[in-house]
Amino acid sequence: MTRVVITALTFGALAVAMVLGVSWLVVSPPGERWEPAVNSLALLAGITGIFAERWAAQREQREQAIGSIRLEMARNRETLDGGEFGAATRPGRRLYPRLIQSAVDSAFSSGALSPRRDAELIDLLHRWRSAVGSVNRRLEMTETLMFTSASAEEVEQLHRALHSKGSFIQGVRALLDETQAYLGELPR
């Protein structure tokens, strides 16, 4: 509410000052029009400067958010392509690295992405965020079972479930491919 009042007062005062400046320019004698002309131009610059600064700040915030998301996706790619998730990984008890989503969370909480302009990207990131949460929870449960189960056969079954072609990790890789391809098409 306070922000709306301040914005209304600021733009109201600027609009009234602009009207008075233009009126002053029109009614002033021909030899004395420099001062009202400069006054009107200064007010016009102030009004357009406010909008230009806001637009530039939003654009910069969006670019930083997308850059951070690109880096985070690359980091997650390294994790998924790493030895712990590779097809040649030998079965055994181990701790798996987790996927990260802090840049995506930060982009959502900061409002850096525009629901109108970035609707498709926001949808992709929501799906990605959900997938990361699911993967990390499943890895936690898998590790718990691996370290609490005494059976080597069960550990091997869990390993196969993680590394098979139809595993949830493969689905996450496909979603990561899709998200990175979309981010790659955005202008830098």
pLDDT of residue 187: 82
pTM of the model: 0.80
pLDDT of residue 91: 81
pLDDT of residue 146: 87
pLDDT of residue 150: 66
Return averaged pLDDT per consecutive 10 residues of the chain, 188 residues in all.
85 90 90 90 90 94 96 96 82 90 96 92 96 94 86 84 84 95 90
- 3-state SS record for the chain: CHHHHHHHHHHHHHHHHHHHHHHHHHHCCHHHCHHHHHHHHHHHHHHHHHHHHHHHHHHHHHHHHHHHHHHHHHHHHHHHHCHHHCCCCCCCCCCCCCCCCHHHHHHHHHCCCCCCCCHHHHHHHHHHHHHHHHHHHHHHHHHHHHHHCCCHHHHHHHHHHHHCCCCHHHHHHHHHHHHHHHHHHCCC
